[in-house]
Each structure stands twice: as structure tokens, then as C-alpha cells.
């Protein structure tokens, strides 16, 4: 009888260990899914705030273009930068897994940020424009949106860091790649973002002085 009990005990122990490993794998898998969904959710938030900024631009352009002698090249730069952003198509619901795609998205958004900064600097030369309620409201909304973009980008990077750490940690690293979990890229600091925009005025006449 003992000859049969020992093999059964061994099989029981092995079966228990196998069951624990399966349960651990299920828990790990669900954890990776949750983290991946967290990254996607934060990516959608990033897209939302960038879209909010893009939606403000037509009204901003319409407002400042009414100012006499306003620098036309600035308006052209913003219009072209906004159009360039529209050409970089990324899934709004799933975070990019291709670093090159995210870099292209960042570059286009960075060009738009630079154009907007330049416009606000140029606007300082137009006291009448700055005095209008419409312009002040748009400026406040843009500034608030830029702050929101910075916050959401940081939160996105935090979510990506949590996810990337998880797929590289033991035991997840043994099977994460086989189950389709790939490392996701981060947002990086835009080159020159710490420098103020260079402004060169191209209007033929000085802006009208405030009476």
C-alpha cells in the first residue's frame, strides 16, 4: 500500500505546485492587463488635452488676425503647425508602442507649442489686442491647457514606467513577451523647450500706439 501512497503524494505535491503556478500566472497576467489599460487610459487623456488646444487655435487666429499690422508670418506658422499635427495619426485609445511614432507626434506638437509661444510674445506688442476680453479669455484658456498638457504627459510617463517595470520584473519577464506585452515609449523633453521663442517682427509698420 505504501508503494502507491508515495507516488500519489508526490503527484499531489506536483499538482499543487502546478496549480499555484497557474494561479500566479493568471494573477500576473491580469495585473499586466490592468497596467496596460492604465497606460491606454492616460494616453486618451493626453490626446484630449492636445485636442482641446487644437480646438482653441481657430478662434485665437481669428481674434488676433483682426489686429492692424499683426505679423502675418506668425499666423501662418500656427496654421501650418496645426495642420502638421493633424497629419500625425495615432490611435486615440491605445498608447503607441513604436517610439518613432511617438517621437513624430511629439515633434509636431512641439512645433505647434513654439508657434503659439511666438504668437503670445508678438501679442505683447499690441496693447489694444491684449485689452480685448476675447483675447484675454483665449490666452487664459491656452495657458490652462498648456499646464494640463504638462500634467497629463507626466501622468502618462508614470503609467508607462509602472507598466514597463512590471513586464521586466520576475516572473512576468518569463512570459510577458509571449503574451503580447511589449515595452511602451515615454514622452521625452522637447529640445529647446527651456528657451524662450525667438521673435523677429516682419510687419512694415510699427503696431498702432494705444491712444
Q: Is residue 181 part of a domain?
A: no
Is residue 105 situated within a structural domain?
yes
Domain that holds residue 28: 2-174
Q: List, for residues 176-194, the tens digit of each pLDDT value.
A: 888 889 999 999 865 444 4
Query: Considering the domain boundaries, does residue 109 fall inside one?
Result: yes
Instruction: Return the pLDDT at 32.
Output: 93
Nearest to 48, CA basis, from 173, 153, 121: 153
- pLDDT score, position 3: 62
Taken in order 12, 14, 15, 16, the sign of the CA dihedral is: positive
More confident residue, 65 or 98: 98
pLDDT at 96: 92
Look at residue 130 and tell me if it is in a domain: yes
Domain count, the chain: 1
Q: Measured between alpha carbons, how far is 71 from 201 in angstroms, rounded to an integer? A: 7
Residue 97 lies in a domain: yes
Residue 11, in any domain of the structure: yes
Residue 131 pLDDT more than 90?
no
Q: Between these two residues, 16 and 72, which has the higher pLDDT value? A: 72
**Domain of 140: which CATH number?**
1.20.1440.20
pLDDT, tens digit (0-9, with 9 covering 90-100), for 9-51:
677 777 767 776 677 778 788 999 999 999 999 999 999 999 9
Q: Kindly give the interhelix angle for 99-123 and 2-64, rounded to the nearest 10 degrees.
A: 30
| Mean pLDDT along residues 98-121 | 92
In a domain, 186, yes or no: no
Of 81, 74, 151, nearest to 112 by C-alpha is 81
Angle between helices 133-168 and 99-123 (to 10 degrees): 160
Question: In this structure, is residue 202 part of a structural domain?
Answer: no
- The pLDDT, as a whole number, for residue 196 is 40
Look over the chain and give the mean of its residue pLDDT values, rounded to a whole number.
83
Amino acid at each position: 500500500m505504501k508503494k502507491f501512497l508515495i507516488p500519489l503524494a508526490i503527484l499531489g505535491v506536483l499538482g499543487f505546485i502546478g496549480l499555484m503556478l497557474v494561479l500566479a500566472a493568471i494573477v500576473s497576467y491580469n495585473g499586466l492587463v490592468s497596467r496596460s489599460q492604465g497606460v491606454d487610459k492616460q494616453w486618451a487623456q493626453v490626446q484630449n488635452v492636445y485636442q482641446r488646444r487644437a480646438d482653441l487655435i481657430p478662434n485665437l487666429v481669428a481674434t488676433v488676425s483682426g489686429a492692424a499690422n499683426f505679423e502675418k508670418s506668425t499666423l501662418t506658422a500656427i496654421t501650418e503647425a496645426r495642420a502638421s499635427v493633424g497629419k500625425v495619426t495615432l490611435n486615440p485609445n491605445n498608447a503607441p508602442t513604436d517610439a518613432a511614432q511617438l517621437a513624430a507626434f511629439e515633434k509636431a506638437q512641439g512645433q505647434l507649442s513654439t508657434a503659439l509661444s511666438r504668437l503670445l510674445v508678438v501679442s505683447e506688442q499690441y496693447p489694444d489686442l491684449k485689452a480685448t476680453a476675447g483675447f484675454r479669455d483665449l490666452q487664459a484658456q491656452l495657458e490652462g491647457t498648456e499646464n494640463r498638457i504638462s500634467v497629463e504627459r507626466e501622468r502618462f510617463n508614470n503609467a508607462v514606467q509602472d507598466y514597463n517595470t512590471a513586464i521586466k520584473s520576475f516572473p512576468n519577464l518569463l512570459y510577458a513577451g509571449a503574451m503580447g506585452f511589449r515595452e511602451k515609449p515615454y514622452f521625452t523633453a522637447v529640445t529647446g523647450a527651456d528657451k524662450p521663442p525667438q521673435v523677429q517682427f516682419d510687419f512694415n509698420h510699427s503696431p498702432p500706439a494705444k491712444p
